[in-house]
C-alpha cells in the first residue's frame, strides 16, 4: 500500500491519526525479540529489524484479529511471514513511498538473491517515515482520499486483509485454482477493465486506492470495516465488523429478497474470486 504523495504533508488540518502519547511510551518500551518469539509460537515467522513501532503495531493488530476470530468463531487466518525490508534491495519497482506490501505467491523479490519469498508474506518498508505516521494517516484520508480511515494502524490492517482474502480463496478452491484467480485479478488488462467498469463507484464508496486493482478493493474495504469496529484508544473489539457484510458466507442467500447496493455485490464477487465479473472465463 502506497501513500499518495510525500510532498504535501503540510496543510491546514489537525494531524491526529490516533497515535497517542501513552501508545508512544508503550512503543518505546517494546521488546521486539519478545514479540518475534511470541509470533513464532503462533507459526508466524517475523523479522522487524528492531523496528519497535512496526513490531508494536503488528502485535496490536494480531491480538485484535485473534480476539475477533475467537469471539465470533470466524476463520480469517494469519500471515506466514512478517518482515521489515530495505525496499531498495528488492526487484519490485516504485516502492519508495510504500508502507509495505503483501506477497501472495512464492517468488523471488530480491535483486541479488535467488531466495524465494513464501506466499502470505507481509513486507514493511524499512525506510518509510514512520515517525510521521500520524501526519501521513490524516493526509492520506482527509486530503488524498487514499484510505478508508485516518487511523494510523490502517497500513497493518490493509496488509492483513490481503491475507484474509487469500485464505478465503484457499478455503474455496485448490491451490492451482487460487493461483489462476490471483493471476487474473492482477493482470494489467483485467485491472484496466476493473477500473473502467467500477473505478468511479469504488472511489466514491470506498477510497481512491481501492480502484487500483480488485485485490485492493477487498483490502481497503475490509480494513475500514475492522477499524470502524474497534476502540481506537485500546485497539479492542467493540462488535462484529463482518456481520451483514459481503464477507459473510451466506451473504447472497440472506439478501435474496433484498437488493443490496452494487458496491456490496462487487465486493462479494471479488472476495469469492469470481473473475467472470472482469469479463474473464474461469
Give 214-250 pLDDT, tens digit per residue: 999 999 999 999 999 999 999 999 999 999 899 988 6
C-alpha distance from residue 193 to each of 131, 275, 277, 278 (Å): 38, 11, 10, 6
Average pLDDT over residues 140-160: 96
Residue 106 has φ and ψ, to the nearest 5°, of -60, 130
Q: Would the pLDDT of 280 be above 80? A: no
Q: How much is the mean pLDDT over the chain?
A: 91
pLDDT band of residue 258 (cuts 50, 70, 90) is low
| Of the candidates 75, 73, 79, 108, the residue with the CA atom closest to the CA atom of residue 92 | 108
Residue 13 vs residue 246, higher pLDDT: 246
The angle that helices 188-205 and 214-227 make with each other, rounded to 10 degrees, is 30
CA dist 207 and 224 (Å) reads 10
> Which triple of cell numbers denotes residue 129?
517515515
Buried b (16+ CB within 10 A) or exposed e, 103-124: bbbeeebeeeeeeebebbbbbb
Please check whether residue 106 lies inside any domain of the structure: yes
CA dist 170 and 187 (Å) reads 20
Please check whether residue 120 lies inside any domain of the structure: yes
The confidence score (pLDDT) of residue 95 equals: 85
pLDDT band of residue 93 (cuts 50, 70, 90) is confident
Please check whether residue 44 lies inside any domain of the structure: yes
The confidence score (pLDDT) of residue 7 equals: 46
- pTM of the predicted model as reported, rounded to 2 decimal places: 0.92
Cell 534491495, residue? 89
Please check whether residue 6 lies inside any domain of the structure: no
pLDDT band of residue 57 (cuts 50, 70, 90) is very high
CB–CB of 271/246 below 8 Å? yes
Please check whether residue 217 lies inside any domain of the structure: yes
The confidence score (pLDDT) of residue 39 equals: 98
Domain that residue 228 falls in: 21-278
The vertex-215 CA angle with 211 and 216, nearest 5°, equals 45
Please check whether residue 122 lies inside any domain of the structure: yes
| Of the candidates 29, 46, 107, the residue with the CA atom closest to the CA atom of residue 82 | 46
Strand 236-237 and strand 116-117: the pairing is: unpaired
The confidence score (pLDDT) of residue 255 equals: 56
| Of the candidates 110, 129, 128, 107, the residue with the CA atom closest to the CA atom of residue 118 | 107
pLDDT in tens, 71-83: 999 999 999 999 9
> Which triple of cell numbers denotes residue 52?
519497535
Beta bridge partners of 231: 236
The confidence score (pLDDT) of residue 177 equals: 96
Q: Would the pLDDT of 181 be above 80? A: yes
Please check whether residue 13 lies inside any domain of the structure: no
CB–CB of 282/275 below 8 Å? yes
Average pLDDT over residues 123-143: 95
What are the DSSP calls for 127-182, one per residue?
TS-GGGHHHHHHIIIIIS--SS---TTHHHHHHHHHHHHHHHHHHHS-HHHHHHHH
Those residues whose C-beta lies under 8 Å from the C-beta of residue 147, and which sit 6 or more positions away, are 137, 140, 141, 154, 207, 209, 220
Please check whether residue 258 lies inside any domain of the structure: yes
Average pLDDT over residues 148-170: 97
The confidence score (pLDDT) of residue 5 equals: 46
Alpha helices by DSSP H, the chain: 21-28, 32-41, 52-72, 133-138, 154-172, 175-186, 188-205, 214-227, 251-254, 262-271
Q: How many domains does the chain have?
A: 1
Amino acid at each position: 500500500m502506497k501513500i499518495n504523495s510525500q510532498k504535501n504533508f503540510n496543510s491546514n488540518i489537525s494531524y491526529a491519526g490516533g497515535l497517542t502519547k501513552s501508545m508512544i511510551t508503550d512503543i518505546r518500551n517494546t521488546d521486539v525479540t519478545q514479540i518475534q518469539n511470541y509470533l513464532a509460537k503462533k507459526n508466524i515467522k517475523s523479522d522487524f529489524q528492531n523496528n519497535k513501532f512496526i513490531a508494536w503495531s503488528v502485535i496490536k493488530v494480531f491480538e485484535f484479529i485473534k480476539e475477533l476470530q475467537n469471539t465470533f468463531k470466524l476463520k480469517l487466518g494469519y500471515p506466514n511471514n512478517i518482515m521489515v525490508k530495505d525496499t531498495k534491495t528488492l526487484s519490485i519497482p516504485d516502492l519508495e513511498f510504500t508502507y509495505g506490501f503483501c506477497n501472495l505467491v512464492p517468488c523471488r523479490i530480491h535483486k541479488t538473491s535467488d531466495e524465494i519469498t513464501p506466499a502470505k508474506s507481509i513486507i514493511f518498508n524499512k525506510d518509510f517515515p514512520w515517525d510521521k505516521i500520524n501526519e501521513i494517516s490524516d493526509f492520506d484520508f482527509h486530503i488524498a482520499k487514499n484510505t478508508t480511515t485516518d487511523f494510523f494502524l490502517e497500513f497493518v490492517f490493509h496488509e492483513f486483509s490481503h491475507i484474509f482474502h487469500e485464505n478465503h480463496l484457499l478455503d474455496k478452491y485448490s491451490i492451482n485454482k487460487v493461483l489462476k484467480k490471483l493471476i487474473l485479478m492482477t493482470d494489467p488488462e483485467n485491472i484496466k477493465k476493473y477500473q473502467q467498469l467500477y473505478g468511479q463507484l469504488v472511489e466514491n464508496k470506498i477510497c481512491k486506492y481501492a480502484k487500483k486493482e480488485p485485490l485492493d478493493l477487498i483490502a481497503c474495504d475490509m480494513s475500514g470495516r475492522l477499524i470502524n469496529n474497534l476502540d481506537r484508544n485500546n485497539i479492542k473489539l467493540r462488535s462484529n465488523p463482518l456481520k451483514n457484510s459481503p464477507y459473510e458466507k451466506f451473504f447472497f442467500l440472506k439478501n435474496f429478497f433484498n437488493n443490496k447496493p452494487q458496491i456490496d455485490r462487487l465486493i462479494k464477487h471479488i472476495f469469492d474470486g469470481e473473475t467472470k465479473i472482469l469479463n474473464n472465463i474461469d
